[in-house]
Amino acid sequence: MLLPARPFAFDIMAAQQRQPETPVFFEDLQRLPPGRHSVPAEEVARQQRLRLMNGMLDAVGEQGYVATSVADVLARAGVSRRTFYEHFADKEACFLQAFDHVVRVTRELFENASAGHARWPESLRAGLDVLLHTVAENPRVARACLVEILAVGYEGVRRREAALEPFQGFFEGGRDEAPEGVVIPATVTETLVGGIVETVSGRLMRGEAERVPELLDPLMYWSLVPFVGPEAAAEVAGTADAATAR
């Protein structure tokens, strides 16, 4: 569900005073020195693109994609309109490229966190923990990429579906945990990832981003149930859903 669009009037001075999030997705973002400097042109262009993508996600995550204008992005990024159109054809192109950037970084965070564990449930817990904390620490970016991307239309839906596919593949590891002879439906991983996304998105839309990490045990439980059953899932996930399993 999308939030209603804000009135078109926009307070540029207020936007300039508001500090955008500086998420892990743009940790190398720098403020370039004014006037003449020795920064290579390629680095200047890269920093401009990062600032614009960061500004886009910040604006969209705060007020919604439909209500966001290029002027909103410029106010946050501190970049001129001419420079914006040197990098992006329009608002949609900037948002989609920013979305792709966040997806790449998110996959790296998940893969790095889940690597090196002896068993799949341990890897899953580590990966989910990092993702949930990243959402909590970057609520506007998370809302932009989980919820507002759908407001773009067909291309936004397609991009989000493509972004979720690698995570569905990771959940396939749960099949190795299932008892011999147990048939797991082919769509179970798609259902699990979709359910996690919608659960997290719901918290974001209710303004409860800081509570997202509290979902770790419940999401672990429901992620394991299709493969190992409720009792074993409750043991691995902790006590949060143990009562549900009985």
Report how many domains make up the chain: 2
Which domain does 61 fall in, by range? 12-31+38-92
The alpha carbon of 53 is separated from its chain's Cα centroid by a whole number of angstroms, namely: 14
The predicted pLDDT at position 24 comes to: 79
- Tell whether pTM > 0.75: yes
The predicted pLDDT at position 76 comes to: 94
Please write down the long-range contacts of 73-78, taking CB distance under 8 Å and 24 or more positions apart. Answer: 75/10, 75/12, 75/15, 75/16, 76/15, 76/16, 76/18, 76/20, 77/48, 77/51, 77/52, 78/16, 78/31, 78/51
Do 138 and 230 fall into the same domain? yes
Do 146 and 85 fall into the same domain? no
The CA distance from 118 to 96, in Å, is: 36
Do 164 and 228 fall into the same domain? yes
Do 136 and 192 fall into the same domain? yes
pLDDT tens for 195-235 read 999 999 999 999 999 999 999 999 999 999 999 999 989 98
Q: Say how many C-beta atoms besides its own lie within 10 A of residue 133's C-beta.
A: 15
Contacts of 108 (CB under 8 A, 6+ apart): none
The answer to whether position 19 is within a domain reads yes
The predicted pLDDT at position 182 comes to: 86
Do 112 and 225 fall into the same domain? yes
The predicted pLDDT at position 23 comes to: 59
Q: Say how many C-beta atoms besides its own lie within 10 A of residue 17's C-beta.
A: 9
The answer to whether position 208 is within a domain reads yes
The CA distance from 47 to 165, in Å, is: 30
The CA distance from 210 to 132, in Å, is: 9
Overall size of the chain counted in residues: 246
The answer to whether position 66 is within a domain reads yes
The CA distance from 203 to 209, in Å, is: 6
For 11, the 3-state DSSP assignment is coil
Q: Say how many C-beta atoms besides its own lie within 10 A of residue 134's C-beta.
A: 22
Query: Of the candidates 76, 92, 108, which is a domain's last residue?
Result: 92
The answer to whether position 7 is within a domain reads no
The answer to whether position 234 is within a domain reads yes
The CA distance from 28 to 101, in Å, is: 13
The predicted pLDDT at position 36 comes to: 58
Contacts of 67 (CB under 8 A, 6+ apart): 5, 6, 8
Say how many Å lie between the first and final Cα of the chain, rounded.
34
The predicted pLDDT at position 5 comes to: 35
The predicted pLDDT at position 236 comes to: 83
The predicted pLDDT at position 235 comes to: 86
pLDDT means over runs of 10, the chain (246 residues): 32 37 68 62 87 96 97 94 96 98 94 92 94 95 97 97 94 90 91 96 96 96 93 77 42
The answer to whether position 6 is within a domain reads no
